């Protein structure tokens, strides 16, 4: 079976070439061809010796996920559905803004964490993505988006906020991050690559030590009672432990703050009391808040907070001295907004059946 070289960062690729009896600089050449030039086969790599190209053709491959579907929103947001085999597809979203272009990347086929307000969570879970399948999303989008008139890449920022919990696929995510940051790969700054987590505390500590990029935490609640209901992982790593992990992460983080993501759910977590609880909760954690109006999906059971409730909530946090943004809803006409990514998941957890039974019970 041929080895897919997209699964390797530079360190792994260098070891692979050493095992082939080749010098380390060959790994850098091949990495630049794959990630900077978008090469899909070794015959394109014209500065490699013919004998090496022949050897690579026999022993290795560059396997990129196949494109199943591409959609573009009226606001310029683009979404790609990529085939990752056995009937599964993952979604990747590009969000254009005036000062940057952000790519939202998936890390798993589905998600096992069962956050109740998330469409991905309702789809169930199939498997982790390989490093090649993760970086393949950036490969595809980079090729599709091209460069600016100034010959700069359109994609300037990457957020691991697509389908799945990145920390639950730690090793493959770290390998993909290494390729994103490497000057022979995509050359992105640590400040421009963000990993989002629902609060897997041990993995947060590991990431701090091996690959400290910007960190976003999917908080969504101001107390353990509410968070236990909507983010079940909180029962394992409650808010006190999560806040301590955030403080530890900041010791090595490329930014001097944590971004707290907070989906606004009507009547659940959006009252003035919740905002005041948040202020107390994060008083020792340098942070910014990103308030996200809930993006509805069929049978979610939740409603989006009113604009007035969001405004009051924001104002309370701002008056306490916090930087607060309210995320614009982008790409919802193609189901590309936050919380709407569902992909195509062959569920191994029977999650969909469980939710159908719950909904039938509620209707009865």
Beta-carbon contacts of residue 293 (< 8 Å; ≥ 6 apart):
263, 264, 304, 305, 310, 326, 327, 329
SS3 content of the chain, % helix, strand, coil (to 5): 40, 20, 40
Nearest CA-CA partner of 217 in 188, 252, 244, 235: 244
Distance (Å, rounded) from C-alpha 251 to C-alpha 344? 38
Q: Which of helix, strand or coil describes residue 82?
A: strand
Tokens matching residue 312: 């009051």
CB atoms within 10 A of CB 55: 16
| 22 in active site | no
CB 331 within 8 A of CB 73: yes
H helices of 250-327, in order, are 272-281, 307-319
| 338 in active site | yes
Q: Which of 104, 118, 287, 338 is catalytic?
A: 338
> Per this entry, what is the length of the chain?
364
CB atoms within 10 A of CB 173: 26
CB 266 within 8 A of CB 306: yes
Burial of 28 (0-12, 13-18, 19+ CB in 10 A): middle
Cα–chain center distance at 344: 17
Q: Which of 22, 91, 114, 261 is catalytic?
A: 91
Q: Give catalytic residues, as residue numbers.
A: 91, 338
């Amino acid at each position: 079976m041929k080895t897919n070289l997209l699964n390797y960062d530079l360190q792994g690729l260098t070891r692979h070439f050493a095992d082939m009896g080749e010098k380390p600089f060959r790994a850098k050449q091949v990495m630049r061809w794959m990630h900077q030039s978008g090469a899909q086969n070794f015959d394109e790599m014209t500065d490699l010796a013919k004998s090496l190209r022949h050897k690579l053709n026999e022993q290795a491959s560059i396997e990129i996920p196949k494109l199943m579907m591409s959609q573009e929103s009226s606001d310029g947001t683009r979404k790609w559905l990529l085939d990752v085999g056995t009937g599964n597809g993952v979604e990747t979203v590009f969000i254009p803004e005036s000062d940057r272009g952000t790519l939202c990347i998936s890390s798993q086929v589905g998600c096992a964490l069962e956050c109740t307000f998330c469409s991905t969570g309702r789809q169930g879970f199939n498997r982790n993505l390989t490093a090649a399948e993760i970086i393949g999303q950036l490969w595809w989008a980079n090729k599709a988006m091209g460069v600016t008139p100034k010959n700069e890449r359109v994609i300037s920022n990457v957020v691991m906020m697509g389908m799945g919990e990145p920390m639950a696929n730690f090793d493959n995510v770290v390998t993909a991050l290494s390729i994103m940051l490497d000057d022979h790969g995509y050359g992105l700054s640590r400040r421009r690559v963000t990993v989002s987590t629902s609060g897997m505390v041990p993995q947060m500590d590991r990431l701090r030590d091996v690959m400290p990029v910007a960190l976003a935490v999917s908080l969504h609640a101001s107390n353990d009672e509410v968070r236990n209901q909507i983010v079940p992982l909180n029962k394992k790593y409650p808010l006190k432990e999560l806040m301590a992990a955030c403080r530890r992460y900041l010791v090595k983080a490329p930014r001097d703050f944590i971004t707290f993501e907070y989906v606004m759910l009507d009547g659940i977590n959006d009252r003035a009391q919740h905002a005041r609880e948040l202020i107390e909760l994060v008083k020792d954690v340098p942070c910014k808040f990103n308030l996200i109006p809930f993006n509805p999906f069929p049978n979610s059971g939740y409603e989006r907070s009113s604009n007035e409730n969001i405004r009051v909530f924001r104002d309370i946090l701002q008056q306490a001295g916090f930087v607060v943004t309210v995320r614009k809803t982008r790409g919802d006409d193609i189901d590309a907004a936050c919380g709407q990514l569902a992909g195509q998941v062959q569920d191994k957890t029977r999650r969909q059946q469980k939710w159908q039974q719950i909904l039938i019970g509620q209707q009865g």
